[in-house]
Structure 1
Amino acid sequence: MARKPHPEPPPEPVDDAALFRDAIGPVRELPTEPTPPSKPRPRPAARMAARDEAEAMSEFRRAMSADALEAGDALSYRRESVPPRTLQRLRRGEFAAQEELDLHWTDAKHAEAMLREFLVHARQHGLGCVKVIHGKGLNSDSKTPALKNLVDRMLRHRSEVVAFASAPTNQGGTGAVLVLLAPKR
């Protein structure tokens, strides 16, 4: 009987890392990098101050809504420096609106921001009379025209506004207001 040749032992696994180190020779190890600083802690929030501010705003809005205008009420306001005759001319539509802003279908928060931006833009460009269309509020859930009341309150407190009145019927009636602005300084 013939002998079977002995199987050769399997080759030893090659250690790639050892082969690489042998090939490049001795190396100098780099110093370890220091650990990066940790993230700074967030600044503490003034929760009580924010709550007080929110309560004050809520109280202010409640007080302002006590004298709410109705859908058919006309807006009218003038600073003491403006003659009554100017307000009468504004009511009759004798001033041409140089630009207008339509607030239909916007919520109060966006309407407030849009009106502020519009008035600043109008003042910067030297406009004397602008029209703000707020609508009559006939579709309002609260049965009071929210945008009309917002526009009335805001215009009374803006320094660039010297007078305003509801537009004549052919220009929007009680759903729009004509606003006279102070001249640009």
Structure 2
Amino acid sequence: MAVMATMKDFAALKGLRRDLQEQEKARALALAERARQEAAIREEANLFRNSIGQIAPLRSKAIDKALHLPDAPLPIPRQHLADEQAALLESLSDEFTIDTLMDSDENLSFARPGVGMDVLSKLRRGNWVIQAQLDLHGYRRDQAREALGEFLRQSRRRGLRCVRVIHGKGLGSVNKEPVLKHKVRNWLAQKDEVMAFCQARAADGGAGALVVLLKSSERA
């Protein structure tokens, strides 16, 4: 019985030795595979460094950063607008009087020299269609002068020929005097684009309005 036990113990030791050898062999293979992978990684890293050459880290100083400023807004032509405004005010003088011009009459009609009386007669009869109007009720003198100049300029640009200017009868003014009524006549006579004007017919405003005939423009 002792002999049989000894043989079994020997067989067990032999099997244990075989297992240890297998484990050592597997460990060696794992180490070899790990070494091969590390070598491959080092080789790829060397290839990358050799391909890009020498490099330097980016500096982070604020002076090296590009500044993207927003586009500046377009300049407002303030001086040009001021010049236009000044020219508009200067072109209509309060010192001017229509009484010094020819071809005016007691009916508040006016025709520039060279304009036939037939033109003025047609204007009085309402042969031209009124295409636009400006109502100056409630305007002070300076406001009315500026508004009239702008109205005539815009009408000219639009190619209009016949317009109406409502100045009122002056019933609400001091001493019931139609100051604005006379001013409008004098201002109109100073504008080169005005060919003629006359008091409106009763249906178109009567003594409180003027019908104005403008020169034809290229647009018209």
Report the counterpart of residue 135 of structure 1 in structure 2. Answer: 168
C-alpha distance in 1 between matches for 2:141 and 2:111: 24
SS at structure 2 position matched to 1:183 = coil
Q: 2:112 aligns with which of 72, 75, 79?
A: 79
The structure carrying a bigger helix percent of its residues is 2
TM-score normalised by structure 2 residue count = 0.51
Moved over 2 A (4+): 60-67
**CA contact under 8 A between 1:75 and 1:174: conserved in structure 2?**
no
Q: Is residue 156 from structure 1 mapped to residue 189 from structure 2 by the alignment?
A: yes
Select which of 165, 168, 177 maps to 2:198: 165
1:115 aligns with 2:148: yes
5+ residue gaps, structure 1, are 1-56, 68-72
Contact 2:200 2:207 (C-alpha < 8 Å) held by counterparts: yes
Render the CA deviation track for 1:124-154: whole Å, top value 9, x for unaligned.
1100000000001112104321111111000
CA shift in 2, pair 1:80/1:139, >3 Å: same
Question: Contact 1:163–1:179 at 8 Å: present in 2 too?
Answer: yes
| 1-structure distance, mates of 2:107, 2:132 | 21
Gap change, CA 1:63 and 1:86, over 3 Å in 2? closer
Deviation at 1:79, TM superposition (A): 1.1
Instruction: Tell me if the contact between 2:170 and 2:181 (Cα under 8 Å) persists in the aligned partners.
Output: yes
Unaligned runs of 5+ in 2: 1-89, 101-105
What does residue 137 of structure 2 align with? 104
Residue-pair matches, total: 122
Tell me the secondary structure at the aligned position of residue 149 of structure 1.
Answer: helix
TM-score scaled by length of structure 1 = 0.60
- Greater relative contact order (Cα 8 A, min sep 6): structure 1 or 2? 1
> What is the deviation of 1:62?
6.3
Instruction: Name the % identity.
Output: 41
Please provide the CA RMSD for this pair: 2.3
Deviation, structure 1 residue 63: 7.2
1:30-69 equivalent positions in 2, closer than 5 A:
61=94, 64=97
